[in-house]
Structure 1
């Protein structure tokens, strides 16, 4: 089985990465870390930027999973894809056991609306979703 982590370079994304790696290590399962941020429209090479950001995570992923641990894959964002759709497609393709995402604190009005991307993932994922928040 596989744990799919939607990673963004924020406190919430770090919380998702930490929780996803811990779950994958605990269950000795493969993990897929997907760069799940929106592409910067001013970045001429968003996939290269995404790939570099993920490469910086490689030592942390390898340490969390341990020597001889389960396999992992670091995936850059897909060109032109909506981040939530991309995450759902990866979860379906991988037959994921679990998807892990980070959630941020919302204003009182924002609490009424979870956020379209997170809401879509929670409702449409082909498996359970673990939504985590960063520690204060």
Structure 2
């Protein structure tokens, strides 16, 4: 089995990947790191650079964790894409980062994390940055 983590190049993404590496090491499972970009978008601030991804793979390797990057793209629904990857790889755990947003912000913009928490068919570990 494996663990899947959603990564974006922010403090929230760093907290999620750090927790995921720890879980993968403890469970002795492979780590799948997802970095999704919106299809057709020329610039996406949530897309990690090659340097970010290499650094994360290096951190996992140093911890003794086998890891690989799953690059995907989505059109309308990031949460659906991420949950589909979790199902496709039959993961034992989903790790996501949480950021604080107001209730109005969640209502207007929705929340990918909230949808993943409510709709996932696998256990979810949600972490916040320090």
- Aligning the two structures, in what range does the TM-score lie when normalised by the shorter sequence? 0.7 to 0.9
The verdict on how the C-alpha distance between 1:107 and 1:60 changes in structure 2, with shifts beyond 3 A counting, is same
The verdict on how the C-alpha distance between 1:33 and 1:119 changes in structure 2, with shifts beyond 3 A counting, is same
The one of 124, 127, 133 equivalent to 2:122 is: 127
The verdict on how the C-alpha distance between 1:6 and 1:59 changes in structure 2, with shifts beyond 3 A counting, is same
More strand by share: 2
Distance 1:38 1:51 in 2: 15
5+ long unaligned stretches in structure 1: none
8 Å Cα contact 1:5/1:34 also seen in 2: yes
Q: CA RMSD in A?
A: 2.7
Within-5 A mapping of 1:30-45 = 30-36=30-36, 38=38, 41-43=41-43
SS state of the match for residue 77, structure 1? strand
Distance 2:59 2:40 in 1: 25
Within-5 A mapping of 1:98-117 = 98-107=93-102, 109-110=104-105, 115-117=110-112
Residue-pair matches, total: 127
Q: Does 1:92 align with 2:87?
A: yes
SS state of the match for residue 78, structure 1? strand
Shift of 1:114: 9.4
SS state of the match for residue 73, structure 2? coil
5+ long unaligned stretches in structure 2: none
SS state of the match for residue 118, structure 1? helix
